[in-house]
Structure 1
């Protein structure tokens, strides 16, 4: 099939699946990567996708060789993507006093940070040679200010924001764009486990449509929904003492096994 190609990680559920649906609706070919390939195949069959319009690649973004191999297979089988979306990520509460949570922190960084860089890696040379393409990092509003009990996730998403900003400057001379999308609360299986209020929560399909349009425009950085961007900026401006009091007693994200 003709048409532009998008490569999406974490495409078996949640935001990744919603983005795949939105790009398919716009006539794009899909390269979908995830550990749970069976769920992607079942979803594609349910959506009635033409087998020529998509390909599925089994990969674990926390394993560098695994996700790099998936990217290279995409290059060989479908060509150079026009857009690469590093969406796969995990979010687990941590307590640094617990030894087992140090392993959770390491796994979070391996997935959310190293995995993001490894997702981009296979495509950089080809995009640079072609002098076009867009790399998209899915960050989070949680990366703008730290939340008690969310140390691994907040730190990893702050790193996504900084890393993508660095990469944007590096690739500008090659005309390759880097877009950072920071979701607020999006209704997915992941966020449904949260035990605290989630203001301005969006259905995944609404988020995907807004993200699609931001990526099409080549926005360097976008918070979705915009209201959460305003909230985050206000929280960033608060003095530490006031911010700490404001969050005192706030319910924390579930730790592993809870």
Structure 2
């Protein structure tokens, strides 16, 4: 029998790359999608990964047509995945009073939200027909409450959390399960330029190890690491006035060009 297959977006670096490594070491076949497909090939070659175990698909997840074409190619070349992992995302600070940042907000939502939905969509019907499959959406603890300077990213990840919950409810009883993964702070290119403290920071490899276990389990929602899960539970309980005081003076996320 063929080894199980996982489809991962955002596989050129960070969390996506670390997860791909974990699955390859576990003997899975991988379908790796990235806008920078050449970077995916570079790290695979550097680690002497057998070409028989992977396929690379170049696509920008903010373009639904590109995702659809990549998914179709995956189904034709490798078959129907056992796990679809929508990980690709961007994070840029915005100033809500600056008109030019509306374009940044639009691009963030297109990548982080529409990109996730477009990644799931081509695989849902065939997974339901088969009666099995696992859809995994990478959200963030940042989706729990809005942080100053993070309006685009927080809004996109809040939407991811709600969207995954909706899909999970809709697919109940079909054999297809949905997991919402909410990382805390993970050391990746996205966080490398942050200018504020990042408590409980994990390496991408440490996150991938814990995420792999969560994906293999039956959880529908998982915050990693567990200490950040406590923070994620407490934040919504804080009165607005207390939350606003805690956020006062907090360094903002860098905007485009900063």
Shorter-normalised TM range: over 0.9
Q: Which residue of 2 aligns with 1:235?
A: 235
Distance 1:171 1:6 in 2: 19
Distance 1:169 1:18 in 2: 29
Matches of 1:49 and 1:70 in 2, distance apart? 21
Structure 2 distance, partners of 1:254, 1:41, is 30
> How far off is 1:46 after superposition?
1.1
Aligned residue in 2 for 1:246:
246
1:65-112 deviations in Å (ceiling 9; x for gaps): 011110111001000000000000000001111111000000000000
Which residue pairs with 1:87 in the alignment?
Answer: 87
Name the structure 2 match of 1:149: 149
State how far apart, in whole Å, the 2-side matches of 1:125 and 1:189 are: 34
> What TM-score results when the alignment is normalised by the length of structure 2?
0.99
Q: Structure 1: any 5+ residue segments left out of the alignment?
A: none
Q: Scaled by the length of structure 1, what TM-score is found?
A: 0.99
Could you list the runs of 5+ residues in structure 2 that have no partner in the other structure? none
Report the Cα distance in structure 2 between the residues aligned to 1:51 and 1:218, rounded to whole angstroms.
Answer: 31
The Cα offsets for residues 19-57 of structure 1, whole Å up to 9 and x where unpaired, read as: 000011111001000010111001111111111100000
Q: How many residues align?
A: 258
Matched, 1:219 2:256: no
Cα distance between partner residues in 2 of 1:37 and 1:163 = 27
> 1:116 aligns to what?
116
| Aligned CA-pair RMSD | 0.8
Q: Residues of 1 paired with 2:146 and 2:218: CA distance?
A: 28
SS at match of 1:192: coil
1:11 aligns with 11
Which residue of structure 2 lines up, in the alignment, with residue 47 of structure 1? 47
Matching residue of 1:189: 189
Distance 2:235 2:56 in 1: 40
